[in-house]
Chain A
Amino acid sequence: MQDSKTNYGKERLRDMMIRRSSGRKLVDKVVSIFAVFSVILAVVLLGSILIEVIINGAGALSINFLTQPPGAIGSGMGGIGPAIQGTLIIVGLASAIGTPVGVLAGIYLSEFGGHGIFPSVVRFFNDVLVGLPSIVIGIVAYITLVLTLGSFSVWAGAFALSIIMIPIVTRVTEETLKIVPNSVREAGQSLGIPKRKIILRIVLPSAKSGVITGVILAIARIAGETAPLIMTILGTDLFFTTLRGPVDALPLRIWRLASQPYEYAHSFGWGAALILILLVLGLSLGLRLVAHKRGFKIRTIAAG
């Protein structure tokens, strides 16, 4: 008797709550549906990009396409050989400049920086530098290198890309080194090892995977940059000859091909895009798979 009464009371209470809260539940449902909808929309749109690049790009691929220089405009002949070569050269050169500078600056911020004024200023403006539009950095490379040296050059392109790369590497290095436990440094110090050796031989190697992650993600980022290349390397139909002259690059070639009014040029553009995306996603995907296997986590770099 007593039992059924309380049950009845409970049921009434529940009914009341449900009735009063039906509006709230509706709002909750709507928001949930919106969240699911946005996920589906993003997956469809972003998936469409990958699928279109793969389908349209695969049709253009051939040995000639990958190795030949571009033919005369409108001829439908040639390939993107110089662009692939140029991208590898510029990105290689930019990372040869950017990696050591970025890693050393990251070491400074993590190991010597603390919370003084100078390191805080460096940290602040490093973060600002990460987000600056790449076309502005292209203008800077144009004024400082192209105008003074008198010609568009590989150096100018690599310089511009290194400015984009350095702040990313600096930030990741600093953050990764900071995770290395202090006891490791203290152990080194107690043995009388010089600070530089503690850092270079003990701290840096234990943070190796994180630093390499940052470098590879930065390389993936600069490999796809187009805007700064317009005013630094200009683009050419010829294979690389000198570091002081213009060179071609994949993103630049895609832009030029897409702007041409020929059907075959668009197809070539998709082909070049497929190669670029394989390069960029190959780098970060490979990295993430290795990271997953080794069990370390990759943070999204808010690379502005």
Chain B
Amino acid sequence: MNVKRGIIILTESREKRNKKLSSFFLSGKRRGDKIFYIVVIGAAAYTLLMLALILYAVGSGSVKIFSFEGFKFFTSTDWNSVEGRESFGAFPYIIGTLISSAVALAIGVPLSLGIAIFLSEMSSSKILSKISGPLSFVIELLAAVPSIIYGLWALFVFRFWILNLIEMPLYNAFGQSIPFFGVTPFGLDWFTAGIVLAIMIIPIVSSICREVIRAVPDSQREAAYSLGATRWETVRIAIFPYAKSGILGAILMGLGRAIGETMLVTLVIGNAIGASAIPTSLFSPSQTLSSLIANEFNEASSDLHLSALIGLGAVLLMLTMAILIGARLLVARMVKVSPGARE
């Protein structure tokens, strides 16, 4: 359809051009193409320029704090912006970021794989095949819901579910005996933040996993089934090894999202500062790199304080760059099945 339209345009422009054929061929064509080439390569270079700008800006903005704190910036637990007594350490927030993301992966990845297996392998029966289409549609749609809305829902609705269904029972049962459950829960802690992050990454991780699993050739499945394998065994011996790198890439993609997520975490993690942001219990409030930046950026009291916050951004940037580059090398565009190539 579209191609046809293209040919119509093509013939029209050909007729027009025939009139001034000679002048056209000799001058304008080459020059126009060259200018066009410069424009598009310029746009491509703009991408690299933006990345360079990001590295330069974050680097230059955090020079001050790194020269002030040195390596202690990574290991210190103080966070004090009072003039004359300034001391900034990123350690508690690095920990907070890592553990909340770990919870997100521990919960989000198995569920996402379950969904992906359901959508790609279990839709053989009539009923299931009818719901799997709309289901993947809904899940993909939910990948577009802004994270601030996940945050709002978590703060006013989901927090109380976690509090009443998981945290209070655990606290009542083990609060006295096991220190890990020994802080009175309010639902505003790193555990809640991790679970909400898990819910947030499920749509994206499960849809990438589904695509990767679907891209596994049917011959793999048929070989396993013909040996008498059950459905789970087929998934385990025939599909996972084949889709391994793609699934790992999807997991790293989810990890990148969880680590960088800001608004949702700010609303539910409890926003502890300094040494108390290192959790001592499952129900301790904590803080992540990005949530501290969001909380304090507009109230930064001095240039040094601002630079410390940008320094947190630098740590965050390094973490995510490492993960993304790893993910990109692993997946190597394995997911990149061209649209329409497979139904």
Contacts and interface: CB of A to CB of B under 8 A. Distances in A.
Interface of A: 17, 21, 24-25, 27-28, 31-32, 34-39, 41-43, 45-46, 48-50, 52-53, 56, 100-105, 107-109, 111-113, 118-119, 121-122, 124-129, 131-137, 139-140, 142-144, 163, 166-167, 170, 175-176, 178-181, 184, 187-188, 191-197, 199, 201-203, 205-210, 217, 220-221, 223-227, 230-231, 234, 251, 254-255, 258-259, 266, 269-270, 273, 276-277, 280-281, 284-285, 288, 296-300, 302-304
Contact of A206 (B3, B36, B46): B3
Interface string B300-343: 00000000001001001100110111011000000110111000
B152 interface: yes
B115 A42 contact: yes
Interface in B113-136: 113-115, 117-119, 122, 135
B10 A202 contact: yes
B328 A201 contact: no
A125 B253 contact: no
Nearest to A195: B33
Interface string B122-160: 100000000000010111111111111111110111100
Given A180-B3, A224-B145, 9 more contacts: A131-B323, A133-B262, A133-B316, A136-B320, A163-B54, A167-B47, A195-B33, A206-B6, A258-B152
Contact of A201 (B9, B112, B135, B145): B9
B219 interface: no
30 contacts: A21-B228, A35-B115, A35-B117, A42-B202, A46-B199, A53-B153, A102-B43, A107-B43, A108-B40, A108-B43, A113-B44, A126-B47, A128-B325, A132-B321, A134-B260, A135-B262, A135-B316, A195-B33, A205-B9, A224-B147, A224-B148, A226-B146, A230-B298, A231-B298, A276-B149, A277-B146, A281-B145, A285-B141, A288-B137, A304-B324
Given A24-B230, A206-B3, A270-B152, A304 B257 contact: yes
Interface residues of B, number: 114
A280 B145 contact: yes
6 tightest CB-CB pairs across the interface, nearest first? A224-B146, A133-B260, A38-B114, A104-B43, A196-B36, A28-B230
Q: Is the interface of A mostly helix, strand, loop or mixed?
A: helix
A63 B260 CA distance: 37
Contacts of A188: 10
B272 interface: no
A143 B146 CA distance: 25
Interface in B1-39: 2-3, 5-7, 9-10, 13-14, 17, 25, 28-29, 32-33, 35-37, 39
A31 B231 CA distance: 9
B108 to A, nearest CB: 10
B58 A27 contact: no
B61 A227 contact: no
B148 A197 contact: no
Contact of B58 (A101, A136, A270): A136
A284 B145 CA distance: 10
B196 to A, nearest CB: 10
A195 B250 CA distance: 37
Given A46-B142, A192-B25, A38 B47 contact: no
A210 B340 CA distance: 11
Contacts of B178: none
B58 A131 contact: no
B57 interface: yes
Given A45-B199, A112-B37, A206-B3, A187 B10 contact: yes
A225 B9 contact: no
Contacts, number: 335
Interface stretch (B75-83, B166-174, B204-212): B204-212
Contact of A251 (B33, B42, B153, B263): B263
B232 A128 contact: no
A287 B53 CA distance: 33
A139 B142 contact: no
Given A230-B297, A281-B144, A42 B324 contact: no
B321 A205 contact: no
Given A136-B54, A205-B5, A227-B294, A277 B149 contact: yes
B179 interface: no
Nearest to B142: A46
A63 B325 CA distance: 48
Contacts of B207: 300
A159 B144 CA distance: 21
A231 B297 contact: yes
A192 to B, nearest CB: 7
A36 B117 CA distance: 9
Interface string B195-228: 0000100111011100100000000000000001
B256 interface: yes
Nearest to A217: B144
Contacts of A163: 50, 54
Interface string B251-280: 001001101111100110000000000000
B110 interface: yes
B48 interface: yes
A133 B320 contact: yes
Nearest to B2: A206
B262 to A, nearest CB: 4
A136 B313 contact: yes
Nearest to A142: B297
B146 to A, nearest CB: 2
Nearest to A56: B156
Contact of B46 (A140, A166, A251): A166
Contacts of A32: 122, 231-232
Nearest to B119: A39
B292 to A, nearest CB: 10
